[in-house]
Amino acid sequence: MDMNGDRYIWELAVILRDRVLKRIFDITFSFIALLIFAIPTIIISLLLTFKERHSVLFKQDRIGKDKQPFQILKFQTMVNEVPTKTGQLLRKTGLDELPQFINVLKGDMSIVGPRALTNYDIDRLAWNDNYHNVRWKSKPGITGFAQIYFI
C-alpha cells in the first residue's frame, strides 16, 4: 500500500474512533442524567398524570441524521395548544426536555449537535440546499452551538 492509502486508513480509523468515543460519551452522560433526574422525572410524571390529567409524554416527528425521521420525546406541556400551569414551569426551566435523554440512549440524538428540526422548520427556513446539507451528517443534539452561545 502506498503512502496515500496508509493515510486514508489512518484518517478513517481516527473518524471511527471519534464516533465511538462520542457514542460512549452520549450513553454515559444520558444514563447518569437519567439517574440524577429520576426522582424529578417521577414527580413530573405524577403531576402531569394526576394534576393536569393528560398523557405524560409528547412525541413529535423530527428529522435527524441523514434526514431520517424520528420521534423526539418531551414532557407534555400543552393541551389543545395552550400551555398548562405545570407545562409553563417545565418549559421555563427546560425540564420538559428530560425525556430526550431516552432519544440519546436509543441513538436518535446526541448530547451535542444541531437542533432537531421538523419538516415545517426545514421548509420555512429553506434549509434544503447544499449549504445546509452538512447539518444532516450529525445526529441532532439536546444542546448545540445555538444554545451554548445563546443564539
pTM to 2 decimals? 0.83
46-55 burial, b at 16+ Cβ within 10 Å, e below that, comes to ebbeeebebe
Residue 23 binned pLDDT confidence (cut-offs 50, 70, 90): very high
Least confident segment among 1-5, 18-22, 24-28, 137-141: 1-5
Cβ(47)–Cβ(89) below 8 Å? no
What total of structural domains would you count in the chain? Answer: 1
Residue 47 domain boundaries = 3-148
